[in-house]
Amino acid sequence: MGHAEGMYIGLLVVAGVALLAWRWRAVKSWAERVAWRPYREAGLLVGLLILAFCVVSLLTSNSPWAATVVVPVTVWLIFCTPQTVRRLAPVAMVVGGVVGVALTASRVSAPATYAGPGQGEWASAVAARYESWRAALLLESVVFLAVGCWLMWRARAQAATSVRRPRWGLLLPLAVAGVVLLVNQQEGHAAVTAAAALAGAALLIAILFPTVSADLAAVAVAALGLFSLIDVVTPPRGVAGAFAVTPGGTPQGPLYGAIDRPVVMLAAVECGAILALGAWLLPRTIGTHAKVLLGREADAELVGRVQQLTQTRAVAVDTAAAELRRVERDLHDGAQARLVALGMSLRAAERLIPTSPQAAIALVAEARDSSSKALTELRDLVRGMYPPVLADRGLADAVQALALDTPVRTETDIDLPGWLEQPVEAACYFAIAEALTNAVKHSGGRLVQIRIRHAGRPAPGVLRIEVTDNGTGGADPANGSGLLGVERRLATFDGILAVSSPVGGPTIIVMEIPCALSSRRTSSC
Amino acid sequence: MRLVIAEDLFLLREGLVRLLEAHGFEIAAAVDSAPALLEALLEHKPDASVVDVRLPPSFTDDGLRAAIEARRQIPGLPVLVLSQYVEQLYARELLADQAGAVGYLLKDRVFNDDRFADAIRTVAAGGTVMDPEVVAKLMGRRARDEPITRLTAREREVLKLMAEGRSNSAIAQRLFISEKAVGKHSTSIFTKLDLAPSTDDNRRVLAVLAFLNS
């Protein structure tokens, strides 16, 4: 077998990481859609169990198997623990990586010195497995260490809270599947191995592709746990097989010995925990869905959606009312007042014409001036309500016009092969205008870049707007109501706003609004 | 001088016709939609035209599009575009063909009828007239690393007035300097903006365009 096993693990890890990175958005939305709490709680349980086992194993023997779990346990703990603990993620990862490297490099006892039962052919097989495990673990630990260092380096300027949840924590099921496969490599049990592998694959597919329901994932977890447990604890190679003795009392089981005992026990504990996780999940996924389907319980997703819609609708109504009040006030104090003044000037001029035409001319000039000012005010008002260039040309040109009017150099990169709906267009326009104003007023940057793209998937499509400035950063959406208002306004369209503004810059504002592009101009009124 | 006028609001159209006739212009056609405007421009080939940006049928920027289309078919056809608001974007589009004979003004500028009539004559003679508001916005920009920043304050002032369509003598009067000094400043502007020697009118158009593109 030799190094092939290490290769398997390495390949599994690489494939898993690649898959997760590729489908990360899907994984995230899946994680948000399913009730994540059971995973986290059960995961915490698994992690603690394995950690306890690990510590005991480290303290009582020279076993290298403890090292096999240091890395995944740390990942799992980070992944499952609350936010406050997760802040220590980079540190924990570095520590875990160092421990892993140290253990694999030093504490593995040389198989040549092994003097327990079952020497000879079996001992050389164990030696070969040692080598492959060492290689795999070393690789794993080094990767872990590197990622930890990278995260620490990246987080140096930012608050500890901004550390992202490590994506590959989800890989533990894969690692377990790998362990099960390895244990099974020795002999027989082909059907069970295949079933376990399939269950693991189903689980991964369910996680990676959100179209597959969470129910399938729960079933897969339970099935994986059950099959693995049966496989591990039944003779001839399981826990029972490992300790089998001949009728004469001589140790006979191939795993009888100081070295392999922990790994079998570990596998059993892991498999048991996976089974427990599956059992925990089943009523929470299939059970809940069944209740919803039978009409006994409100669909939590729909309830949440209704709440969100109620909230955003209230905001939209408030915003519209406030806007109307502003327009009314502006008209009252501005154009209306000017028109009154204009009328009065004209009336006075009318009276003055017979007696002093010179004074009348001055008054008429004043009236003309007044009408000019009224027009200017009306123009500004209209621009604030619905900018004419937006009405004429749509978002792309309106943003271009905005960029031209911005005192700081502003580059636009807009690719919109169709028209947006007008309300969405207006919301986007004012959001960009606000971001630009902030960049000009507060960032101190010399260049602003606006990038607008539309993606067709997921349906109905997503409009993505990025406004980047090369200023000093440190923008906080919670501080000052501008961006907060934009966020609320976008929420009416299920849009979101994210701000990244580390001290020292750059500031990147990203907005995403789900919306479709149409080939023709459409109007809602 | 023969004019074509395009304005969809009856009162404004009649007002414009009366005002311009009082200033000695001859109105070849006064139309109320973009298709009619394009037709009138191609048919009459007027000395100048006064065009509202927003016209039927779609009530967006149909007037502007019709004017640009007419200038594509008859290069350099003098067009003065009027609008309730001014956008640098539209100004750039109008000037993009570099043929000059373009104006872009706010509708309020009609109040000052003498200046308005002058603007039409400037456009008819191949000059460019940009609304002071467009020019002011351009002047409001700062911190941009472009050729325009190489100009001195006085040269920028001269360029600003040039963009508004004023003649050298008008600029001289406005800035209280001699016409010769204005000529010197404009030569310096043309050099700094890397404009190749050609007729003074054409270089003025290109200078304004460079200004807008800055």
Across the range A406-410, mean pLDDT stands at 86
Of the candidate ranges A258-262, A514-518, B63-67, the one whose mean pLDDT is the lowest: A258-262
- Strands A447-455, A462-469: parallel, antiparallel or unpaired by DSSP? antiparallel
Interface of A with B in 441-460 (CB under 8 A): 446
Confidence at residue B155, expressed as pLDDT on a 0 to 100 scale: 86
Task: Give percent of chain A above pLDDT 90.
Answer: 12
Residue B162 has pLDDT above 80, yes or no: yes
Q: A240 falls in which pLDDT band (50, 70, 90)?
A: very low
Instruction: Tell me the average pLDDT across A244-269.
Output: 49
User: Which residues does B contribute to its contact with A (CB < 8 Å)?
Assistant: 53-54, 60-61, 84-85, 87-90, 92, 106-108, 111, 137, 140-145
Q: Tell me, what's the pLDDT at A189?
A: 46
What does the pLDDT read at residue B31? Answer: 95
Using one digit for the tens of pLDDT, what is the confidence trace for A147-184? 667 666 665 544 333 333 333 344 555 555 565 555 55
Within 10 Å of residue A388's Cβ, how many Cβ atoms?
21
- In tens, the pLDDT along A88-134 reads 556 666 666 666 666 555 544 444 444 444 445 555 555 555 555 55
To the nearest whole angstrom, how far is the Cα of B10 from the nearest Cα of chain A? 19
Which residues in chain A are contacts of B140 at CB distance < 8 A? 407
Cβ contact B108–A375 (<8 Å): yes
Mean predicted confidence (pLDDT) in B116-132: 91
- List residues bridging with A518 in a β-sheet: A419
pLDDT of residue A155: 55
Cα A350 to Cα A258, A324, A326, A368, B111: the distances in Å are 115, 37, 35, 14, 19
Q: Predicted confidence band at B122 (pLDDT cuts at 50, 70, 90)?
A: very high
Residue A371, chain B, CB below 8 Å: the answer is yes
Does the pLDDT at position A502 exceed 90?
Answer: no
pLDDT over 60 at A379, yes or no: yes
Residue B132: how many other CB atoms lie within 10 Å? 16
Which pLDDT tens digit goes with each residue over A435-471?
998 888 888 888 999 999 998 877 788 999 999 998 8
Measure the CA–CA gap between A85 and A74, rounded to whole angstroms.
12
Nearest chain A Cα distance for residue B108, angstroms: 6
Confidence grade of residue A432 (pLDDT, cut at 50, 70, 90): very high
Best-predicted range by mean pLDDT among A143-152, A409-418, A479-488?
Answer: A409-418
Nearest C-alpha of chain A: how many angstroms from B184? Answer: 29
Q: How far is CA A321 from CA A74, A193, A346, A398, in A?
A: 53, 65, 36, 25
Looking at per-residue confidence, does B137 or A266 come out higher?
B137
Would you state the pLDDT for residue A291?
67
Q: Do A368 and B111 touch (CB under 8 A)?
A: yes
Asked if A405 and B88 come within 8 Å (Cβ–Cβ), the reply is yes
pLDDT of residue B42: 93
- Candidates B141, B101, B107, B106; CA nearest to B121 is B101
How is chain B split among helix, strand and coil, in percent rounded to 5?
Answer: 55, 15, 30
User: Which of A369, A397, A404, A419 is the best residue to mutate to test the B interface, defined by the most B CB atoms within 10 Å of its own CB?
Assistant: A404
Instruction: Report pLDDT digits (tens) over B183-211.
Output: 888 888 888 877 776 666 677 777 777 77
In this prediction, residue A160 carries a pLDDT of 33
Of A190-194, A275-279, B125-129, B146-150, the one with minimum mean pLDDT is A190-194
pLDDT confidence tier of residue A509, bands split at 50, 70 and 90:
very high
Residue of B53, B142, B145 lying closest to A407 (CB–CB) = B142
Is the pLDDT score of B62 beyond 80? yes
pLDDT over 70 percentage in chain B:
92
DSSP state of A111: G
pLDDT (mean) for A45-52: 58
**Is this structure's pTM higher than 0.80?**
no
Question: How confident is residue A25, by pLDDT bands cut at 50, 70 and 90?
Answer: confident
Higher pLDDT, B121 or A58: B121
Q: Are A442 and A494 in contact (CB under 8 A)?
A: no
Supply the pLDDT for residue A182: 56
What distance in Å separates residue B111's CA from the closest CA in chain A? 7
Evaluate whether A80 touches A40 at the Cβ level (below 8 Å). Answer: yes
Distance CA A490, CA A498 (A): 11
Preceding peptide of A506 cis, ω within 30°: yes
Write out pLDDT tens, residues B12-28. 899 999 999 999 999 99
pLDDT value, residue A181: 57
- The backbone torsions φ and ψ at residue A350, rounded to the nearest 5 degrees and listed phi first, read -55, -45
Note the pLDDT tens digit of each residue in A318-339: 888 988 998 888 888 888 888 8
B-chain residues within 8 Å CB-CB of A371?
A: 108, 111
Chain B interface, best mutation among A378, A381, A389, A521, by max B CB count within 10 A: A389
- What is the Cβ-side half-sphere exposure of residue A497, based on CA atoms within 13 angstroms? 25
Q: State the pLDDT confidence band at A212, using cuts at 50, 70 and 90.
A: very low
CA distance A158 to chain B (A): 30
Instruction: Please list the residues that pair with B80 across neighbouring strands.
Output: B50, B103
Please enumerate in sequence order all residues whose Cβ is within 8 A of that of A149, keeping only pairs 6 or more positions apart, or say none.
A90, A94, A97
Element (H, E) at A467: strand A462-469
- Report the mean per-residue pLDDT for chain A: 69
Return the minimum-mean-pLDDT range out of A24-38, A371-385, A437-451, A498-512.
A24-38
Task: Count how many pairs of residues, chain A against chain B, have C-beta atoms within 8 Å.
Answer: 53
Vertex A340 angle, CA A337 and A346, to 5°: 140
Strand order in B102-106's β-sheet? B26-31, B2-6, B48-52, B79-83, B102-106, B128-130
How large a percentage of chain B has pLDDT more than 90? Answer: 39
Question: How many helices (DSSP H) and strands (DSSP E) are in chain A?
Answer: 20, 5
Closest to A232 (Cα-Cα) out of A206, A266, A204, A199: A266
Q: Identify the residue among B53, B64, B87, B212 best suited for mutation to test binding to A, counting A beta carbons within 10 A and taking the highest.
A: B87
Q: Using a pLDDT cut of 70, give the percent of chain A over it.
A: 46
Higher pLDDT, A84 or A370: A370
3-state SS of A177-201 is HHHHHHHHHCCCCHHHHHHHHHHHH
Query: Tens digit of pLDDT for each residue in A194-203?
Result: 545 555 555 5
